Amino acid sequence: MSGDWSGQHLLNRFRVSERLPGATDCYRAWDLIQDKPVTLRHLSAPLDDETRRALEEKARPLGKYIQAGLLPFYGLLEVGADAFLAEGHVEGPPLSQLNGKLPITDALSALKMLSAQVDALHKAGWSHAPCLENVTLDREGRLYLGGLFEAAPLESPQGDIRALAQLFTGLVAEDLPEFAARILPRALEPKPDSRFGSATEFFLTLCLACRVEAESLPGRLGGADSPAAGLLREWPFLPPLAAPRTLVEKPLAARERNGPPAWGWPLALLAIVGAFASAWWLLPAPLEAPITEAPPSLTAAPISILNEPEPIAFSAPTLAPAPDSLGGRIVFTCTRREINHLCMVSPRGGPVSLLTAERAHDYYPTFSPDGNMILFASNRGGSFNLYLKLLQSDILTRLTDGPGEISSSAFSADGSLIAFASSLDGQPADLWLMTREGGNPRLLYDGSGNIASPAWSPNGASIAFVMSQPETPGMYEVYILELVSGEVSSVTNGRLVGAGGSVDWSPDGRFLVFFAGSPGDNEIIRYEITTGEFLQLTSGGNNAAPSFSPDGEWIVFNSQRNGNADLFIMRIDGSEVQQITDDPEPDWQARWGQ
C-alpha cells in the first residue's frame, strides 16, 4: 500500500491515528496491547531475510526499556508488502529542526540528558549513537533518544561518546573556554591513554572545563530566548491521543432471541457473539502411544485492554465467478429459524444443501480425511457430544457419551484418531484424544484456561489449539502441543489482541490461520511457522473461522462486512475475495474438505 496510512488498523494491535508533523514516513498509533501511543515508521524499501531476523532479535530486549528518555523499540510488523517499525512515542520535533545554535548551558543540558540515556544502553550491552535526527524534543523541552532499531551489540563505548561530542559541537553557539576546547579531541579522536570511560564521565569533565556545575543544569531545554523555545512555540503539536472507545458487544439478532446453550464453558458465547469462533481440522498421522501425563500449563503475556477502533471502510468483495479449478466442498454451521444446523456449499457458490434439520443445535463440523463423513458436536441427546454423519446416507453415529460437554474436534490424517475439546462439570475445556470409533478417550492436555479448536499438523507431530487466558476472561491465545515431548509453546504470546477463537493448519504445514481482534472487530491473521511472522489478510468487516482449501491455495472464512454473517473465500495472501453465500441468517464456522 502506498500513500497515507492514517485511520488504518494494523494486525489488530495498532490503530493508526495520523501522520506525524514534519515526517512523511512516521505515524502516531494506539497500541491496544500496551494501551498507549506508539510511533510507527513506514519503511520505503523491502526487507531482506537477514535484516528482518536482526530486527526481530533486537525487539525482544530493546522493547523492555523504561529508562527515562529512551524510546523502546517494540518490533517489526508487516502488512502485505509494507513494513513498519514500532517504537515508543513522544510528541515533538527532532533536534535537526532547530534553527540556530544553543547557549552553552542548553547544549550542556542536552548532553546531560543524552549521556544518561547512552550509559543506560551501554550497561545493557547495546551501542547507539545519538544524532540530530534521532533525538526528539517534547513539549516541555525534554530530550528523547529514539531509533533503537539501529542499535548494535556494544563492542566499545567510544563510538557513542564520539557521537555525543559531535552533537555537542554542532549545537553550541558560543566559543568554548580554552580548557573545554582541549577536552573535545579526547572524545572526537580518542587515544588509548586518554579515552573517557563513559558518556557521563565525558559530560562531567566538559562541565568542569566550562566551569558549570552539572547539578545546576536543568533536565530540559528552552530558555526564553533559546532557539529550542522558539521551535517548541512554532511546532504544530498534535492534540493528545486518547485510547479508542470501549466496545459494546452487539450479538446478531437471531442469537439475541435464542441465546447460546448453557454448556458451562465460555467458548460458545465467544463463538456466537460477533466473531463466531470455529474449531476443527483434519490432518495427519496417528499417534502411536497415548500421552499419560499432561505437561505443565503455560500462560501467555496478558492483554492489557481491548478497545473499539474507529470504523474503517471496506471495499465490496470481488463477486466474479470463482476459478473452475476450485475443488472440494465447504461444510459450515447455518443458523436457520434460530436453530443451528449443518449446511454444505461448493467453493464456487451456488445452492446450499441442508445436512441436518433437528430441533437441536449442531456445531463445529469437519470432514473426515476421505471426505465421506462429517464430524460435529450436537446437543440432540441432551448434552453436547460428538456425532459422525455418513454423507451418502442418513446413517448417524454417536461417538461420545460421558467425557463432559464436547465442542470442537479434529481427525488425524488417516482418520484413526480424533482430538477434541471437552469440559467436565462446568470446568474449562481440556484437550482429549480417542479413536475414530469413540473408544479409549483419554486426557491429552489440561491447560490453565478453556481449550478449543484443535488442528492437527500435516506431519502428525503437533496439535495447534487456542486457550483462554485466566487473566483476561474470554480472550484466547494460540498454542502448539508437541505430541511426543508434551511440550506446549505459545504462538501469539500476547502479541495480538484477542487472538484465537479458531485455528487451521495449511496442508503443507507452513502456516496457521486464525482470527484476532476485539469483539465485533476481528481480522484473519496468517502466521508463518518457520519465521514467526504475522500477516493480516483482511481489513474490516468482523471476520472469523478461517480454513484452508485442500490444495492450500485458498481460505474460506465468515464475515459480517455486508451486515450478515456470510461465507467468503480469498487467496492465502488476502487477495481475490469472493462471496459464496448470501442469506439473511448467519452462515459461519466453515471448513473446506475434499
The pLDDT tens digits of the residues spanning 58-86 come to 887 888 666 779 999 999 988 878 899 99
The pLDDT of residue 319 is above 80 = no
How does DSSP classify residue 113? H
pLDDT of residue 502: 84
| Separation CA 397–CA 395 (nearest Å) | 7
| Separation CA 408–CA 280 (nearest Å) | 6
User: How buried is 331 (Cβ within 10 angstroms: 0-12 exposed, 13-18 middle, 19+ buried)?
Assistant: buried
pLDDT of residue 65: 66
- Give 586's pLDDT tier (boundaries 50, 70, 90): very high
Q: What CATH code is assigned to 95-234?
A: 1.10.510.10
Q: Within 13 Å of residue 361, how many CA atoms lie on the same side as its CB?
A: 19
pLDDT of residue 474: 66
- Give 244's pLDDT tier (boundaries 50, 70, 90): low
Give the number of residues written for the chain. Answer: 594
Task: Give residue for cell 447460546.
Answer: 260
pLDDT tens for 448-463 read 899 999 999 988 889 9
pLDDT of residue 416: 83
Q: What CATH code is assigned to 273-286+312-460+547-593?
A: 2.120.10.30
Looking at per-residue confidence, does 439 or 571 come out higher?
571
Residue 35, number of CB atoms within 10 A of its CB: 13
- Give 148's pLDDT tier (boundaries 50, 70, 90): very high
Give the H/E segment covering residue 472. Answer: strand 472-482
SS3 category, 591:
strand
Least-confidence region, from 157-161, 165-169, 299-303: 299-303
The pLDDT of residue 316 is above 50 = no
Q: Within 13 Å of residue 282, how many CA atoms lie on the same side as its CB?
A: 25
Task: Give residue for cell 490503530.
Answer: 15
| Segment 266-287 mean pLDDT | 32
The pLDDT of residue 156 is above 90 = yes
Q: Which amino acid is at 356?
A: T
pLDDT of residue 287: 30
Helix axes 178-188, 158-171, angle to 10 degrees: 140
- Give 323's pLDDT tier (boundaries 50, 70, 90): low
| Separation CA 124–CA 32 (nearest Å) | 27
The pLDDT of residue 291 is above 90 = no
The pLDDT of residue 397 is above 50 = yes
| Separation CA 567–CA 578 (nearest Å) | 9
Answer whether 550's CB lies under 8 Å from 567's CB. Answer: no
Answer whether 443's CB lies under 8 Å from 434's CB. Answer: no
| Separation CA 543–CA 275 (nearest Å) | 7
Give the H/E segment covering residue 255. Answer: helix 253-258
The pLDDT of residue 274 is above 90 = no
Assigned fold of 9-88: Phosphorylase Kinase; domain 1 (3.30.200)
Looking at per-residue confidence, does 115 or 100 come out higher?
115
The pLDDT of residue 190 is above 80 = no
What does the domain layout of the chain look like in residue ranges?
Answer: 9-88, 95-234, 273-286+312-460+547-593
Task: Give residue for cell 508487516.
Answer: 78
| Separation CA 48–CA 124 (nearest Å) | 27
Give the H/E segment covering residue 114. Answer: helix 104-123
Query: Which is it for strands 405-411 and 281-282: parallel, antiparallel or unpaired?
Result: parallel
Cα distances (angstroms) measured from residue 464 to each of 212, 351, 419, 450, 461:
63, 33, 11, 14, 10
How does DSSP classify residue 148? G
pLDDT of residue 59: 86
Answer whether 522's CB lies under 8 Å from 12's CB. Answer: yes
How does DSSP classify residue 134? T
The pLDDT of residue 299 is above 80 = no
| Separation CA 132–CA 22 (nearest Å) | 14
- Give 2's pLDDT tier (boundaries 50, 70, 90): low
| Segment 99-124 mean pLDDT | 92
SS3 category, 165:
helix
pLDDT of residue 471: 75
The pLDDT of residue 313 is above 80 = no
Q: What's this model's pTM, rounded to 2 decimal places?
A: 0.56
For every residue of 35-71, DSSP letters joined together read TEEEEEEEESSPPPHHHHHHHHHHHHHHTS---TTB-
| Segment 434-442 mean pLDDT | 88
- Give 413's pLDDT tier (boundaries 50, 70, 90): confident
Which span out of 1-5, 34-38, 56-60, 201-205 was modeled with the highest average pLDDT? Answer: 201-205
The pLDDT of residue 232 is above 50 = yes
| Separation CA 230–CA 137 (nearest Å) | 12
For every residue of 170-234, DSSP letters joined together read HHB-SPPPHHHHHHHHHHHS--TTT--SSHHHHHHHHHHHTT--GGGS-SS---TT-HHHHHHHH
**Closest C-alpha among 69, 554, 77 to residue 326:** 554
The pLDDT of residue 153 is above 50 = yes
pLDDT tens for 301-311 read 222 222 333 33
- Give 136's pLDDT tier (boundaries 50, 70, 90): very high
| Separation CA 432–CA 452 (nearest Å) | 11
pLDDT of residue 150: 95
Task: Give residue for cell 478497545.
Answer: 307
Answer whether 317's CB lies under 8 Å from 328's CB. Answer: no
| Segment 516-542 mean pLDDT | 90
The pLDDT of residue 22 is above 60 = yes
Looking at per-residue confidence, does 312 or 67 come out higher?
67
| Segment 107-126 mean pLDDT | 94
